[in-house]
Amino acid sequence: MVILMKSDKSLVISKNSKIYQKESVMDKLIFLFPKEYNGIDMSNFTYNLTYIDPQGGMHTELLVIDEEPYKEDFVSCQLPVDTEITKYSGVITLSVSATWLDSETLTQYVLKTDSLQIEISKLSVLYEFIPDTSLDIIDQKMLELNGKIEALERLGEVIDSEIPDDLSIDDNNVLRLSVDGTAVGDGVEILTSVQDNDKNTNDGILDIEDVESYDPNPYDDAVGIIDL
């Protein structure tokens, strides 16, 4: 789906495509803004998407500007990798604000678009697809099967995109699961500042040779403890 900002700052869908619940839309939902608007270079701006989900919750996400524009004379943006815009099915109301501070003149520029509604479809729409009754039985059954296959494929993509495939640790020593490089969950804080006995390198990784020579009870002999 391609969403275009017109000269009156309204958003319109210039290229439509169906978007399904929990589908990854990073490369399927593209925003286009004029490269120049009222004589101002729009490529310097930061673009922030605000949307209201079908449950009534409001969200904001910074759009990612494409290095290679989708269309000439336009600034093209996409949603971030960790977007949750397809978390729910139903109608989403969205708008974009673009901001830029001219560091030479300290002039502040703010552009706000009108709102636009898009629909997120349920996966069950595909699975429960009913073909045209005017078709013959074989074609109807094939179309039903195609719908179910596509629904299962999309469901498989959703499952794959939500299964953690690695671990990540941030600057606050919080260890989290990650999916495609994006940290998920609350995580747990881990201790990395203890002495780890590996030749004065305090990196939280134990040196096996030093561990093998480490005596867990260095004072046993001194206090007369006898192993039975």
Q: What is the pLDDT of residue 174?
A: 77
d(CA 85, CA 58): 11
Closest CA to 70 of 127, 128, 117, 3: 3
Note the CATH architecture for domain 2-122: Sandwich (2.60)
Q: How many Å apart are CA 217 and CA 226, to the nearest integer?
A: 12
* Statement: the pTM of the whole predicted model exceeds 0.75: no
50-73 tens-digit pLDDT: 999 999 999 999 999 988 878 888
Q: What share of the chain is helix, strand, coil (3-state, %, to 5)?
A: 15, 35, 45
Tokens 């495609």 found at: 180
| Residue-range domain boundaries for the chain | 2-122, 126-162, 166-212
